[in-house]
Amino acid sequence: MSAGSGPRVVCAGDEFISAELLAAAMVAELDRFGHTADPVPIDSRWPSEPFDDIDGVREAAGDPARLAELVTGADALITHLAPVTAEVIAAGRGSLRVVGVTRGGPVNVDLAAAADAGIPVVYLPGRNLGAVAEYTVGTMICAMRGLPAAAAELSAGRWDGTGFRYERVGLELRAATVGLIGLGAVGLRVAELLAAFGTRVLAHDPYADPAAAEGVGARLVGLPELLAGSDVVSLHARLTEHTRRMIDAAALAAMRPGALLVNTARGELVDSRALDAALASGRLRGAVLDVFDPEPPSADDPLPRRPAVFATPHLAGASRQVAEESAARIAREVATVLTGGTATHLATPPNRVA
């Protein structure tokens, strides 16, 4: 690509990270390298319309046939969750030099098709770690103090002063022990925030860096010790066959009576029926649930309706900073590849196949 040329970049946005935001970031990044850009915008209506599994890719929104038309002859494609299917990859074969995805995991991309076509896929691990960590600590405080249920009572016209009874009041974070299951980017940031409150932090993660854990004041322990010793158990693990339903009836029974469970990771980490039973029995104080299995939860799922559950519709990672910074970061990664460099996070091999 010669100086002054304008690579054609398809910017497939949505109502969170818009095509306009992606295009502006792409223009700014290529300008730094002395190039103009030719952005081609297209937006889906997510989240007003839900994402879905489409033609072999997950959590995607948009029309793959229309996207295939646009990527034909394009140099790059950047997106949040457009369906980058085998059809789209085939349409871009021979011209598409990079696909950029503003997500921690490019599940909306057919990585096998991209690798076969020699098209590198770049993505953004930890892109929303600040937002998720703040949500985790904020909702932890609210749930420990019983604030969601109290607010709902007042909204319904009932003044419940019994929240001041000793048996109902909760702990302050400075007096609590919080157990983090998973000490990746988000878990480490949660631990950093908790340190400011004086919280005792336990962590369980077979792959954690002991030095990193020590640096944020977290003590690495086995899962049984974490469950038994924590006032709050917060999930930050990746979903694998090993971690699926790891919080089952036995794990919930091992938790400290009156503890709180927080899940901002994946709904499949928790056995929802077992959790409902633990809440119904009064063994757990409550739960903060931002993720469900399935999503959205079924109409007859009792968990979102429980007063002891602070339930939100997968919003932990939603902030203006996530949208703006993700657009800027993915534009930087894509511009690096377009100008002959190697991106930081590659889901597929970096070198194209002729």
pLDDT tens-digit map of 211-236: 999 999 999 999 999 999 999 999 99
DSSP state of 288: E
Which regions of the chain carry the CATH code 3.40.50.720? 8-127+319-338, 129-311
User: Is 45 part of the annotated catalytic residue set?
Assistant: no
Of 1, 201, 180, 219, nearest in space to 95 by CA: 1
pLDDT, greater one: 251 or 4: 251
Please, what's the b/e burial string for 306-316 (b: 16 or more CB within 10 A of its CB; e: otherwise)? bebbbbbeeeb
Q: How far apart are CA 239 and CA 126, in angstroms?
A: 15
Residue 1's pLDDT band (boundaries 50, 70, 90)? very low
Can you state the angle between helices 19-32 and 320-338, rounded to 10 degrees? Answer: 40
On the question of pLDDT at 347 being above 70, the answer is: yes
The residues near 319 (Cβ < 8 Å, ≥ 6 apart) are 128, 130, 131, 134
Of 354, 350, 353, 284, nearest in space to 98 by CA: 350
User: Is 295 part of the annotated catalytic residue set?
Assistant: yes
According to the model, what pLDDT value does residue 324 have? 97
Q: How far apart are CA 232 and CA 286, in angstroms?
A: 10
Is the Cβ–Cβ distance between 119 and 97 less than 8 Å?
Answer: yes
Tokens, residue 272: 């929802």
Report the 10 Å Cβ neighbour count for 196: 10
Cis bond before residue 224 (omega within 30° of 0): no
Q: How far apart are CA 189 and CA 331, in angstroms?
A: 24
pLDDT tens-digit map of 132-174: 999 999 999 999 999 999 999 999 999 998 989 998 999 999 9
The residues near 193 (Cβ < 8 Å, ≥ 6 apart) are 133, 134, 137
129-311 has CATH 3.30.830.10 classification = no
DSSP secondary structure, 9-58, as one string: EEEEE-SSS-HHHHHHHHHHHHHHTT---EEEEEE--TTTS--EEETTEE
64 SS3 class: helix
Q: Pick the catalytic residue from 314, 324, 345, 352.
A: 314
Report the 10 Å Cβ neighbour count for 90: 16
Q: Pick the catalytic residue from 266, 306, 329, 332.
A: 266
pLDDT tens-digit map of 71-94: 999 999 999 999 999 999 999 999
The residues near 166 (Cβ < 8 Å, ≥ 6 apart) are none
Phi, psi of 215 (to 5 degrees): -65, -25
On the question of pLDDT at 4 being above 80, the answer is: no
Average pLDDT value for the chain: 95
CATH class, range 8-127+319-338: alpha beta
Distances in Å between the Cα of 292 and the Cα atoms of 122, 175, 241, 336 are: 27, 29, 17, 37
On the question of pLDDT at 184 being above 60, the answer is: yes
According to the model, what pLDDT value does residue 6 have? 85
Helices (H), 272-319: 272-280
DSSP state of 318: -
User: Is 204 part of the annotated catalytic residue set?
Assistant: no
Residue 5's pLDDT band (boundaries 50, 70, 90)? low
DSSP secondary structure, 117-168, as one string: HT--EE--TTTTHHHHHHHHHHHHHHHHTTHHHHHHHHHTT---GGGGSTTT
pLDDT tens-digit map of 245-273: 999 999 999 999 999 999 999 999 999 99
Q: How far apart are CA 328 and CA 29, in angstroms?
A: 8
